[in-house]
Chain A
Amino acid sequence: MTDTALLIKDVDKFYGPVDYGVHAVKNLNMDVKKGEIIALLGSSGCGKTSTLRMIAGFEAVSRGTISLAGKEVQTLPPVRRNVAMAFEGYSLYPPLTVRENIAFALKASKLSQSVVDEKVAGIAKLLEIEDILGRYPSSISGGQQQRASLGRALIRDANLHLLDEPMGQLEPQLRALLRGRIKHFIKERGLTAILVTHDQTEANALADRIAVMEGGVLQQFDTPQKIKERPANLFTGTFVGEPPMNVFEASVSGSESKMAFGLKDGVRLEYAASDFSHAVRDELVKRQKVVLGIRPYSVRRSADGVTGRVAVNQWLGDQTHIAADFAGGTMVLVEHDRTQLDVGQPIGIHLDPSSLHVFDGESGRAISHGQELA
């Protein structure tokens, strides 16, 4: 058990009376290994910050257990959990300078002044805030405050580092630079970190595993690659990925040699039965209604494909986003060249069966990803 840094078991969070209040986190189970970086990804109100605060000890756990390094902590006060946290609202102490704010986090550890100075200098260099160490929080920008707050959390030698939207206020270039540095810093020291974010790029770049949350429920907890390639359900499929996955409701019909999906407006996608594995076919034909999903990067144009009509054609400087009216909805395609297509022009769309994600029409759970069963 020593390599498990955090274990969350059957945790529920209610605001208000248990079972009657607002159910913010529903039956959450998660394990985080020592040295891992985990991202809690979700839209606002999905329960990610509540989860983080329960781990830190600022919110009571309504039900279930939270263990840090093998020890149950859900009833312990924050001071006895040995976790560090960077707050979304920075929360620097106004009467102290940035240097004092950062050094302050080490006060409880009783290090000598020279060690503290050295550590503060190191963190300041990492976060590019050396020039503002002597300033007060009220006189620096939001981005600088955020970095100071991040420094105050990273400087500590805690069992677990909790980072709540740690880079939301930074400019894009700085964010990209710091992402790399922070990841290196955490990995080099073997720290364990949980990061709350709504920014998928940040989650993908920093995290070893991503926990996608929605409506208080953990949707999927897996590596960034798995989440992208094998989304567990319709929510994860459409939430993660930019531009979002194209989804279309469809009915399934299959025979010995053919596999067909009926979309709205009479659009029919026909494939050879051999395009799908036996197992996938068996699962698909059991269902009346499914949802087909395909990433915009995987959609191809082809003269003998199904016809759509160009609605929007945008060149973003390095790629073209084409939105086409297709089967009563919109199909988004991404191409890497500048594509000359006029609005209203018909295009043939080809959906490769190996790129198709099929979800259950009722539950939204994934059935298959290309040839493989989910």
Chain B
Amino acid sequence: METMSPLERILRGLALTLVVVFFMFPIFWIFLMSFQTNETILAIPPSIVFSPTLSNYAALITGKLQTAAGTLDIAFMSNLGNSIFLSVASVAVSLVLGVPAAYAFARHKFKGSEDIAFTLLSFRFAPPLLVLLPLTQYFQWLGLSNTYVGLIWVYQLICLPLILWIVRGYFEDISADVEYAYRIAGHSWLATFRKIALPLAGPGIAAAGLLAFIFAWNNFVFALVLASADKQPVTVGALAFVTSSGIQYGQIAAAIVLSVTPTLALALYAQRYLVEGLSLGAVKG
């Protein structure tokens, strides 16, 4: 990197700080809110000096929400569990189905292969509300509404196209000759897929899986319509904080902190794979 003048360095630092503040401030503010009671949150003017309380977290974990109208049962922890289960299972199913499909689309061009791939992608740009109504009907007939299987199935609309298209690109970046070289040395097609294609596309698959996980985690409408209370993820469960006696800002903030933690942790952990995935071209040789 070329050397920068002190002024440039300062301006650069300033710009970076601005960006970080812009993106991190809401999270930081929510983090602070999660340790405050509704009264201090709603105080005017707002202050960052307050006596922290863990009552919001306690309420979430015990599932007892104290409101002016009495004690409310909330299922936040089970919602969180649902979110984790639904997202992990959906991504797992998508990976099992999508990675071999992506490989097939990348390596074998056949009549109509582009059309099939594009149809799968088109699931991503159909508005969810458009498919929800017929889907609800079908799910009721099939007995799939309010089941984990049904939800994971619908979540494939979100995860599968994403994984398919991202991973396909990574497979296409791997020179087919590397696989040919392996096959000609006496290995089967399947062994080549497992030993050469999968490891080489590994960072890409990890990146795609992470992205699909975040999309699945953030999903709201599908779960809102197709699942009842005991199967709902946090995105839907958070609605419970809007109570008849007011909005529980403190608990909402605590709930947000708890629900972004898994995705944030995953993203931080997978960061190196993401970077590796993006620089795949450098190791192709």
Contacts and interface: CB of A to CB of B under 8 A. Distances in A.
A77 B183 contact: yes
Contacts of A77: 183, 188-189
Given A104-B185, A108-B186, A78 B180 contact: yes
B199 A152 contact: no
A93 B184 contact: no
Given A89-B177, A105-B185, A152-B185, 14 more contacts: A56-B180, A58-B180, A82-B186, A83-B184, A85-B181, A91-B175, A91-B180, A94-B285, A95-B199, A95-B200, A104-B185, A107-B185, A107-B186, A138-B285
Contacts of B285: 90, 92, 94, 137-138, 145
A13 interface: no
Interface string A93-136: 11100000000110111000000000000000000000000000
28 contacts: A56-B184, A77-B188, A77-B189, A78-B180, A78-B184, A79-B183, A82-B186, A83-B184, A85-B180, A85-B184, A87-B181, A88-B177, A89-B175, A89-B177, A90-B177, A91-B177, A92-B181, A93-B178, A93-B196, A94-B200, A94-B283, A105-B185, A107-B185, A107-B186, A108-B185, A109-B186, A138-B283, A152-B181
A interface, size bucket? 20 to 34
| Interface core residue of A84, A91, A105, A149 (most chain B CB under 10 Å) | A91
B180 A79 contact: no
Contacts of B189: 77
B282 interface: yes
A291 B112 CA distance: 49
B153 interface: no
What 6 pairs across the A-B complex have the smallest Cβ distances?
Answer: A108-B186, A91-B177, A91-B181, A87-B177, A91-B178, A78-B183
A53 to B, nearest CB: 8
Contacts of B184: 56-57, 78-79, 81, 83-85
B187 A93 contact: no
Interface in B259-285: 282-285
A230 interface: no
Contacts, number: 67
Nearest to B181: A91
A89 B181 CA distance: 11
Contacts of A90: 177, 285
Contacts of A88: 177
Interface string A287-325: 000000000000000000000000000000000000000
Interface string B116-140: 0000000000000000000000000
A108 B182 CA distance: 10
Interface string B153-188: 000000000000000000000010110111111111
A89 to B, nearest CB: 5
Nearest to A85: B184
A108 B187 contact: yes
B278 to A, nearest CB: 16
B180 A87 contact: yes
A268 to B, nearest CB: 56
A79 B185 CA distance: 7
Contacts of A81: 184
A79 B186 contact: yes
A357 interface: no
Contacts of A84: 184-185
Contacts of A156: 185
Contacts of B181: 85, 87, 91-93, 149, 152
A138 B183 contact: no
Interface of B is mostly: helix
A57 B179 CA distance: 13
Nearest to A162: B184
Contacts of A82: 186
A79 B200 contact: no
B194 to A, nearest CB: 13
Interface string A35-77: 0000000000000000000001110000000000000000001
A100 to B, nearest CB: 12
Nearest to B195: A93
Contacts of A138: 282-283, 285
Given A85-B181, A89-B177, A79 B199 contact: no
Contact of B284 (A94, A107, A108, A109): A94
Contacts of A85: 180-181, 184
Interface string B73-98: 00000000000000000000000000
Interface string B194-232: 001001100000000000000000000000000000000
Nearest to A107: B185
B176 to A, nearest CB: 8
A308 B223 CA distance: 89
B187 A92 contact: no
Interface string A180-205: 00000000000000000000000000
B255 to A, nearest CB: 43
Nearest to A156: B185
A238 B12 CA distance: 63
Contacts of B177: 87-91
A246 to B, nearest CB: 40
Contacts of A78: 180, 183-184
Nearest to B180: A58
A85 B180 CA distance: 9
A92 B185 contact: no
A78 B181 CA distance: 10
**Of A58, A78, A149, most B-chain CB atoms within 10 Å:** A78
B110 to A, nearest CB: 12
Contacts of B284: 94
A93 B182 contact: yes
Contacts of A105: 185
A88 B178 CA distance: 11
A58 B184 CA distance: 9
Nearest to B177: A91
